[in-house]
Amino acid sequence: MNQIAKSRPLRAAVVGGGIGGLAAANSLRFRGIDVTVFEQAERLGEVGAGVFVYPNSLRQLERMGFRDALANVGARVGPGSQYYRMDGTVVGSILTTDSSGWNGMYGMHRADLLNALAAALPPDAIRTGHRCTGFAQRDDAARLSFANGEVFEADVVIAADGIHSTLQKHVVDPQPPEYSGSRAYRGLISRDKLPQWRDEAHQVWMGDGKHFMVFPVRGGQLLNYVGFVPTKSETVESWSAAGDRDELAASFAGWDPRVTELLGKVESCFWWGLYDRKPLPTWTSGRLVLLGDAAHPMLPHLGQGANQAMEDGVALARFLEGRGSGDVVRLLQQYEAFRRVRTDMIQAEARQNGLRYDSKYASLEQRDREIASSAAFRKSLYDYDVDNAVVAGLRENQVPAA
């Protein structure tokens, strides 16, 4: 063991100031690890619409002290959450609690979540305007270089740089994301414009190769809507490409009047191509590890992309807690082996759930039965406590060997 390295806190560099990167930075600091985040954008979090924070990640964030910060900007999602066929026929309830009955579920504007995560870090721990362009490593340290000419050395580098990760090529041969054949039109609409709307409800309408969903964000002042529509050509994977609201409305013409009424009030929307990727052969190379979408981009049909990225950070911080620089390479491999069992399963299940939502089933009755009985799977997702799982695995020596 390298005694000099062990006597000082580990120094971590996170590339990417999205939800995965900022949550990981908080988790690492919570476990006593010195961390600096590098984000290419000049400012954090201006783009995006709604994301879900589910019980599996909310319990971790609350343990780190985010209870009030998230309650202030989140919109609690609970009663009235339902799945419907496209004509409005109820298919079943959407689970909004874990098995204990805890309603730990928020709809959040992505910017609100990012702001809360950023506010908990010291200002000098986040360096915006830093686009990472290079990575190199020796036995005892890793080195990042940036488009602005700066360089930074760290014991461990966490690539949280999203689905088009720049650093991924230092870990695996280039692996382009796979287009799902669908695009998502999304946007926000003021709650006041729809007086009859159910507060607190996550509602999903399913039919005909498409689906539509709505949930509240920002304390319920805004409704986040997303319409998933098949396309023949690939749609760019962008969060800021303007969509055509008439095209969106035409895609859902004749659906439940609640959907068409909402779409009649949309003024502008964005679109976003849906991509994921088959599991990568590995996430680690020496002192470099991929996290969040850089490691395991998921289709959004379980709403777990951001939540799994947040779980990644909690697990990684536990593996690295109290350890020295000389342990990093082995610990990253153990972390990957531990995490990918869960993320591989959720990636695959998100694809399958998209088929249910888009009614790509020979029998709609069979689809409806699967949707109605999906609460058991959701419970297992939401009950999972990643921090306890790592601690128990390490204690019982059951963490997969590197």
Ligand X SMILES: Cc1cc2nc3c(=O)[nH]c(=O)nc-3n(C[C@H](O)[C@H](O)[C@H](O)COP(=O)(O)OP(=O)(O)OC[C@H]3O[C@@H](n4cnc5c(N)ncnc54)[C@H](O)[C@@H]3O)c2cc1C
Distance in Å, CB of 87 to ligand X, minimum = 27
* Nearest-angstrom CA–CA distance, 89 and 320: 50
Distance in Å, CB of 224 to ligand X, minimum = 8
Distance in Å, CB of 191 to ligand X, minimum = 18
Distance in Å, CB of 343 to ligand X, minimum = 11
Judged by beta carbon, residue 100 or residue 238, the one nearer ligand X is 238
Distance in Å, CB of 310 to ligand X, minimum = 8
Residue with tokens 């249910």: 356
**Distance spanning both ends of the chain, measured CA to CA:** 17
Which of residues 132, 329, 350, 371 is near ligand X by CB under 6 A? Answer: 132
Distance in Å, CB of 248 to ligand X, minimum = 16
- Helices 386-395 and 55-63 pack at an angle, to 10 degrees, of 80
* Number of neighbouring beta carbons within 10 Å of residue 286: 18
Supply the DSSP string of 150-214, one letter for each residue. -EEEESEEEE---TT-SGGGGTSS--PPEEEEEEEEEEEEEGGG-TTPPTT--EEEEETTEEEEE
Task: Please check whether residue 82 is in contact with residue 374, taking contact to mean a CB–CB distance below 8 angstroms.
Answer: no
158 contacts ligand X (rule: CB under 6 A): no
293 contacts ligand X (rule: CB under 6 A): yes
161 contacts ligand X (rule: CB under 6 A): yes
Residues 6+ apart with CB under 8 A from 190: 221, 222, 223
Distance in Å, CB of 347 to ligand X, minimum = 12
Q: Per the structure block, which two tokens stand in for 248?
A: 């969106």
49 contacts ligand X (rule: CB under 6 A): yes
Build a one-symbol-per-residue string for 294-333: x at contacts with ligand X by CB under 6 A, - elsewhere. Answer: x-----x----xx--x------------------------
Q: Binding segment for ligand X among 126-134, 171-179, 187-195, 324-332 (CB under 6 A)?
A: 126-134
292 contacts ligand X (rule: CB under 6 A): yes
Q: Binding segment for ligand X among 32-40, 55-63, 115-123, 252-260 (CB under 6 A)?
A: 32-40
SS3 at position 87: coil
- The torsion of the CA quartet 340, 341, 346, 352, rounded to 10 degrees, works out to 120
Judged by beta carbon, residue 57 or residue 325, the one nearer ligand X is 57
74 contacts ligand X (rule: CB under 6 A): no
* Nearest-angstrom CA–CA distance, 381 and 56: 7
* Residues in contact with ligand X by the rule CB under 6 A: 15-21, 38-41, 47-51, 110, 130-132, 160-162, 166, 239, 292-294, 300, 305-306, 309
